[in-house]
Structures are given as C-alpha cells and as structure tokens.
Amino acid sequence: MDSPPTLPYPGWSEDTVTMPVAYFEEGRLPAVCVVTGAPATSNLRRRYSTTPSWVGCLFFVSWLALLIAWVATRRSATGYLPASNAVAVRVQRRQAATVRLAALGGVAWIAIIPVSAIPALSPVANPLGLALGGAGLVALICSGVASIMEGAALGVQGRVVEDGFGARWVQLRGVHPAFSRALAARLGR
C-alpha cells in the first residue's frame, strides 16, 4: 500500500504554502498563477497582516488598550502574487469599483458641509443634508462590501506568521496545486 507523500514543510499542502517574507515582498515567486495554475503574465500587489486573536478580547477592557495592542502586535507584509491576465483584470475591476464607491461616499459627506452651513436654506438643507448623509453612508457601506468581494475574487487568503526565532513567513491558503509545486521546487523542498 502506498503511503501518502510527506509534506515538504509544516503548514504546507496542495493548497497552502509557506514562504519567507522576503520572497513575497520582492516578488521572487514562480511565474505560475496562484489561482488558475496557468502561466502568470502579471503580478498583483497584495497586503496580508495578522493580529493575535487575544487582542480582540481587549474590546471589553478598553478601546485604547485594543488600539495599542493591535498596533503593537500586528505583523504585515506587502508583496506581489503572480496571476494570469484574466484573474488580474477581474481583481483590478473590483478594486476600481471599490475606489469609485469610496470616492462617491466621501464626496457626499463633504457636500453635507456647505449644505448644512447655509442658514437661508435651512428648511431645504435639512432634508437635503439627510439625503446626502444617507447616500454617503450607503456608498461607504457598498465600498466595504466591494472591498470584501475584491479580496474574494482572488480566492487566496494570506497571513503573516512568526516562528520562535523571530523569522517572519507568509502563509497563503487557497493556492492552485501547480503554484504549490512550482514554489516547492523553487525553494528546494
């Protein structure tokens, strides 16, 4: 009976890879799309960060303590993931929609200021200000939803982990098996 192949590294499987942060940040990854396994023609800039789960418990203690712990314990890395042209176009379209919705929300909220500052229009300004405020809030909520959808369009989730020796690693989940094999070959595993 054949035994299953051993994994080349802890935290590694067909759809999960772990690499040094430097490989991710410098874009020294194989030219294989992380989503489809096809040859990669572009690189997508991604930012992954991790905060320990115990930090969330500070919500019940103090917002200031939560903020300080979040800033002090957050580990992040910004780098490039290889992607095929179709995947890159899909992600960039969703990024553009997110930016447009955030800009629309910002403009609506900024437009509230002069409308509410004109005392002569106060009977008209109150409903108009409420409408602009509501439109801005809806646009900002839609921007957040679009941002989540943009992250889901790629389908690869990442986190930054630190080992006991202080070395930082990026772990990607949901990668294509072809990318996993190509990265293992590049890292010599």
- pLDDT of 4 above 50: no
More confident of the two residues 16 and 151: 16
96-109 residue pLDDT tens:
888 887 777 777 77
More confident of the two residues 56 and 152: 56
- pLDDT of 178 above 60: yes
pLDDT recorded at residue 106: 76
What number is the average pLDDT over the span 17-22?
88
pLDDT recorded at residue 82: 92
- pLDDT of 3 above 50: no
What number is the average pLDDT over the span 17-29?
88
The span from the CA of 28 to the CA of 26, in Å, is 6
125-150 residue pLDDT tens:
567 667 777 777 777 787 777 777 76
Domain residue extents for the chain = 16-187
Confidence bin at 5 (pLDDT 50/70/90): very low
CB under 8 Å to 174, separation ≥6 — which residues?
15, 16, 155, 156, 157
29-50 residue pLDDT tens:
899 999 888 898 998 888 888 8
pLDDT recorded at residue 18: 87
Which residue from 76, 45, 54, 71 is spatially nearest to 161, judged by alpha carbons? 76
Q: What is the reported pTM?
A: 0.69
- pLDDT of 2 above 50: no
Structure tokens, 40: 């990669």
